[in-house]
Chains A and B, each alone.
Chain A
Amino acid sequence: MLEFMEGSHAVAEIVKRCRPQVIAAYPITPQTHIVEDLAQMVANCEIDAEYITVESEFSALSACLGASAAGSRVYSATTSQGLALMFEVCFNAAGMRQPIVMSITNRSLGAPLSIWNDQQDSISLRDSGWLQFYAEDNQEAADLHMIAYKVCEDHDILLPAFVCFDGFILSHTYEPVDLPSQEEVDAYLPAFTPYQRLDAASPLSFGMYATPEYYTEFRYEIDQALYRAKDAFVKAGREFGEQFGRDYSALVEGYRLEDADTALVAMGSICGTAKDAIDEMRDAGKKVGLLKIRTYRPFPGPEIADALSGVSTVAVLDKNISLGGGGAVGTEVKAALYGSGAAVYDYIIALGGRDVRKRDVAAVVDLAEKGKGDMFYGLRTEVL
């Protein structure tokens, strides 16, 4: 049944139905509505969880790590500066193979301080070992949390995941969402069975240090688990489709790509705007399509190359900037398409909450088709 609700509320409702046993979070805009909802659910006994009101994001993720190691399903949510404060724990949690699921309401990083949306925060943690899934709309944001728990807790994977959805643009926006019932979620997502846990009956040491004889092999195994997560995601996404009718089995998803000469590549809510813009361009006779990246980590390089095999021009919309090195997604798309013959251009766009309209998407396509790219789009040169 479709209900009209805020993105944050939809996510909180679905997180509740995923039955986390320990929740630890610290308030930060625009993540607050999610954790406020969850705190109220705990207060109302609607959810059988411990809610730890930690004193920082750093402790939020640290507490989740401890709770997960002790055998509980855990949840946290953060964004922007909060995620930056978690940097050290992020690498640690992935290295310790704890299947933590954390919502990221994507927001820019200071300075200058900005509470508005781009994807700099989660993309800056791309090397941490976390899986990263990006949602286009509130329905997908909610659904991806169920898939994330299923993939992360798979004993062949055992990695943490960010479920990313754009701050304000999705988190504070009302859309119709179809929320599965508790029984339906239970049927999809079984109770958490830890691979190993801290247990006096079976003492194990977690988080030991590794000498040069072992460190490389630990990192290799984490890397391999990320690649295995591709298949696990496809399987979990297909099962989701079979049960709920919304299929998430694709790591990348094409929109009107058949016969397209030019393809946009993007992640998150900007894909919705791009689809509308593409419809208009198609009506005007332009052969344009979109490739949406759903899983930024593991990066679907071969899947992107396959999906864009017939395209001559590619325009990547990057809501981030690796300062001094170009857009992060564009850089990796270029590597994926190396040798394909396609001309690939990168556009730094929509930083710090700047709106992207359909005409901006069309303008990017025009620039790419004229061979102009690898640039900031829409720069206000008058304020420089």
Chain B
Amino acid sequence: MAEVEQGCELFSAGHRACGGCGPALAARLLLKATGKNVIIASATGCMEVFSTPYPETAWGVPWIHSLFENVAAVASGIEASLKRQGRSEKVVCIGGDGATFDIGVLCISGAFERGHDITYICYDNEAYMNTGIQRSGATPYGASTTTSPPGACAPGGNPLPKKDMPAILAAHGAPYVATASIAYPNDFVQKVERAINTPGPCYIQVHTPCCTGWGFESGETLAMAKLAIDTGLWVNYEMVDGKVVKAKKVRRKPVEEYLAKQKRFRHLFKPARRDDVIANIQAIADANAERFGIDIKRKESSE
């Protein structure tokens, strides 16, 4: 944040995002972390579309969009070009969860394996929102989307668990991998600062609730992000050289508190309660808590 003056926004207001858009807030926080000395490469997706309808742009830093699935390869070329020219800009990719978990995996894998000095930010709103809320590899188990709708033969909605992208990228040898949430802006900004200042390919997956796609009031975006953490369905953690070094601890609430507030999980409560599916989702949260050790026990702080 060093280069950003108080009140100066590198991601301008006036873009076309929905009111209460989680990804728009992530973009704004991201540029507070990077400052001006950055080049952003963006995948096709909500953020690209709402921020750059020609001839308007919300980006006060150099920005490029090529295709949906090639952002990591485009960034590889940018990084090589800057290196050859002896330039100092940081290279940051932005992709939604569809671009990152699904269609762009080949390019991301190649870029991380080659070790380019780039930071990849995945803004994870857990479905293809730009095309109208279809299931992606990041869609959580039990969620309803337009391509994982609940029905007589599929009462639970999405039958598949969320892909573990951070682990996949850590397995590539990424020196720094982290998850973050717009519910904790300072934490996200600090993680971005750490990533862009760590040589090599780094990955941050930031949870960005989508009021339109998830079905909640636009004023509830940050509350929803915080509830995901408070229930253990989203865990904020850092991995350095492949090992989890830090995870945010919480006094966990039952997952039902999170599920009941979103239309994408409404089928679990109406017309009949699906206690089996809710129990499975609770088991996912319990497994997260076990894996990352996030449950606060007595006389323990929350970090």
Contact = CB atoms under 8 A, between A and B. Distances in A.
B77 A21 contact: no
B262 interface: no
A92 B38 CA distance: 23
B109 interface: yes
Contacts of A55: 106-107, 109-110, 113
B65 A207 contact: yes
Nearest to A21: B84
Contact of B64 (A48, A58, A198, A210): A198
B62 A203 contact: yes
Given A52-B114, A205-B59, A207-B64, A198 B77 contact: no
A220 interface: no
Interface string A208-229: 1111001000000000000000
A211 B54 CA distance: 7
A246 B169 CA distance: 52
A49 B84 CA distance: 7
Q: How large is the interface on B (under 10, 10 to 19, 20 to 34, 35 or more residues)?
A: 35 or more
B106 A208 contact: no
Interface stretch (B68-76, B131-139, B263-271, B284-292): B68-76
B67 A53 contact: no
Contact of A208 (B60, B65, B83): B65
Nearest to A211: B53
Interface string B165-209: 000000000000000000000000000000000000000000000
B116 to A, nearest CB: 8
Contacts, number: 159
Contacts of A62: 66-67, 70, 73-74, 76-77, 107
Given A62-B107, A204-B62, A70 B54 contact: no
Interface string A240-265: 00000000000000000000000000
A71 interface: yes
A214 B82 contact: no
Interface string B66-96: 1101100111111011111100010000000
A2 B210 CA distance: 66
Nearest to A205: B57
A88 interface: yes
Contact of B77 (A63, A202, A208): A63
Contacts of A89: 66-67, 70
Given A88-B67, A200-B38, A74 B49 contact: no
A200 B61 contact: yes
Contact of B80 (A67, A92, A205, A206): A67
B41 interface: yes
B52 A96 contact: no
Nearest to B111: A59
Nearest to A51: B80
B141 interface: no
B39 interface: yes
A208 B81 contact: no
Contacts of B65: 206-209
A16 to B, nearest CB: 15
Given A58-B70, A89-B70, A209-B54, A50 B83 contact: yes
Given A53-B114, A200-B37, A203-B63, A68 B106 contact: no
Interface in A31-58: 48-50, 52-56, 58
Contact of A66 (B57, B64, B109): B64
B53 A50 contact: no
Contacts of A200: 36-39, 61-62, 89
Contacts of B126: none
A152 interface: no
A54 B59 contact: no
A22 interface: yes
Given A21-B84, A205-B57, A92 B67 contact: yes
5 contacts: A59-B111, A70-B82, A199-B89, A207-B66, A209-B65
Given A56-B107, A66-B41, A207-B65, 19 more contacts: A52-B80, A59-B73, A59-B106, A66-B75, A67-B80, A68-B81, A69-B64, A70-B39, A71-B85, A89-B66, A200-B61, A202-B62, A203-B36, A205-B63, A205-B64, A207-B64, A208-B52, A209-B52, A214-B55
Q: 4 tightest A-B contacts by CB?
A: A66-B77, A55-B110, A63-B77, A62-B73
Interface of A: 21-22, 24, 48-50, 52-56, 58-60, 62-72, 74, 88-89, 92, 96, 198-200, 202-211, 214
